[in-house]
Amino acid sequence: MPAGRHCAPDGTGAGGGAAPASDAPPPVDPAFAEASAAFERGDYAAAEAAYKAILANSPADPMAIGALAGVRLFSRAEHLDADATRAAAVAQPDDIDAQLAASDVEMLQGNLDRAFGLLVAVVARTSGADRDRVRLHLLSLFDAAGPDGPSVTKARGALSRALF
């Protein structure tokens, strides 16, 4: 359901009666509905498979790309203890896994600037396979966040500076 839209269980507008036709939500693609339902019930493997199937037919679908990145983020991080994960990242700044986990925790808590900043800093001080691994993780977080947010735009610039 789009943010801010309130519907009664019978599909009518919140005030009762039929919602105006122009206010009706667009039809939901059954493949997206299946993927979303799997995610909602916590079946991340099924949600990932459903979004991959969508992308097999439409490889550049931005909604599916973002949703798949979000599913993978939740799968990796929802079980993490936020305070312990952050403490591990602070205590072990050279531990790539600790930094990746901390950035995931920050993302789940809505701290996009912190999540991105952690990884940009790691990219700036690493090289080779470690740098590439962190860069790819950061790009997946950008996908999960959506391409148009100010935090993503700012972090993309910082990443470019860190790389070059």
Please give the pLDDT value at position 83: 98
Rounded CA-CA distance 96/101 in Å is 9
* Domain ranges, ordered by start, for the chain: 28-77, 82-163
pLDDT digits (tens, 9 = 90+) for 101-151: 999 999 999 999 999 999 999 999 999 999 999 999 999 999 999 988 899
Sign of the torsion angle spanned by Cα atoms 67, 69, 75, 77: negative
Q: Is the pLDDT of residue 38 over 70?
A: yes
3-state secondary structure 72-141: HHHHHHCCCCHHHHHHHHHHCCCCHHHHHHHHHHHHHCCCHHHHHHHHHHHHHHCCHHHHHHHHHHHHHH
pLDDT digits (tens, 9 = 90+) for 46-84: 999 999 999 999 999 999 999 999 999 999 999 999 999
Rounded CA-CA distance 68/52 in Å is 7
